Amino acid sequence: MLAGSTCVACSQARPALFLVAAAALLLLFIGIHNAWDAVTYHVLVSRGKQPEIKQPTKTEG
């Protein structure tokens, strides 16, 4: 979209600016989606893989 808008920018500036804005919004939404996926992965998967802490045992002597 960005490369296409550079070709159109010389002859039609207004549609080219709309293409740039649409590309920027698309990249923003993709970034938010990827961040949301990373957070949910770390919350749901990483919590299940934490090692258990063993309590020291007392020896009677």
Q: In which band, very low, low, confident or very high, does the pLDDT at 60 lie, cut at 50, 70 and 90?
A: low
Give dist(CA 50, CA 44) in Å, integer.
11
Q: In which band, very low, low, confident or very high, does the pLDDT at 5 lie, cut at 50, 70 and 90?
A: confident
Does residue 61 surpass a pLDDT of 60?
Answer: no
Tracing tokens 């920018």 back to the chain, one arrives at 9
Contact 45, 23 (CB under 8 A): no
* 5 CB neighbour count, 10 Å cutoff: 19
